[in-house]
Structure 1
């Protein structure tokens, strides 16, 4: 791995972390993608298109993710009364409960990465935030808290 370029290292690390998280939340019936959606809906309903942008995915991908979450009763979709062309997505009470459990599982599962106090971790975090911002991900907005 020492000879891998930085992009390959980032991709490999991201996939491994996502797989570890998915394995941890599998018993809840959700994936990393589903948990990301539930997290983004924590402060209220969002238009489906905005949700896709915030999660950094294509509309079609978001639609498939929402289909599963809606089928499982974790989100609900409805027409926006102010603009009938828009679909609003909101988290249900069951979705909030799953999100709460997923956060606890994620914290436990990803504990080895949680040390934000070491100088090395601080450097890695700054670099990752810079990569996200440099590539304009999520309309320049980090999902969740990336400060």
Structure 2
């Protein structure tokens, strides 16, 4: 059977599951007018105001993408932009009271866990989490492969 997932390459499996989870997560967030890209912005702003550039960097997206996301959140009443008191050319994005409330409601961990763990036993979920954490760490920009490690690190390992 060509569409049997057991025959798919690992990358295709991961991509398929990720797209499905993203759709389900977006359906959950749609009740607040949010999506998978806008919720992290609200969560970053829970710690205080940031410039659009800072939020883009924190979210690992372009400034242009962040500009559209912030504009949408502003139209929804979840964020406001104010002039930076130390640099008149810069604006700081802050959560509104509505944004703070929505961030707390939409990001409840129980809902995300229910979406992500559907069909898995507690043991499978624990194993999946370990594997995913390892994969995230392996993709971190500061992770060095053995080929890029400093020569001293190799010598120290002997």
Q: Same fold (TM over 0.5)?
A: yes
Cα distance between partner residues in 2 of 1:100 and 1:44: 15
How far has the Cα of 1:15 moved from its partner?
A: 2.0
Q: Residues of 2 paired with 1:64 and 1:13: CA distance?
A: 27
Aligned to 1:38: 42
Structure 1 distance, partners of 2:138, 2:91, is 31
Q: Which residue of the other structure, out of 105, 110, 125, is the alignment partner of 1:107?
A: 110
Unaligned runs of at least 5 residues, structure 2: 144-158
- The DSSP-based 3-state class of the residue aligned with 2:87 is coil
Of 125, 128, 139, 1:121 maps to 128
Q: In terms of Rg, which structure is larger?
A: 2
Deviation at 1:100, TM superposition (A): 1.2
Distance, in Å, in 1 between the alignment partners of 2:6 and 2:106 is: 33
Structure 1, unaligned runs of 5 or more? 141-147
The TM-score normalised by the length of structure 2 is: 0.72
Output the aligned Cα RMSD: 2.4
Alpha carbons 1:44, 1:90 under 8 Å: kept: yes
Quote the residue 2:72 is aligned against.
Answer: 68
Q: Which has the higher contact order (CA 8 A, sep 6+)?
A: 1
Once the 2 structures are TM-superposed, how far is the Cα of residue 79 of structure 1 from its aligned partner?
Answer: 2.2
Length-normalised TM-score, structure 1 = 0.77
Verify the 8 A CA contact 2:45 2:95 in the aligned structure 1.
Answer: yes
| Structure 2 Cα separation of the partners of residues 109 and 77 of structure 1 | 29
Question: In structure 2, how many angstroms separate the alpha carbons of the residues matched to 1:26 and 1:108?
Answer: 13
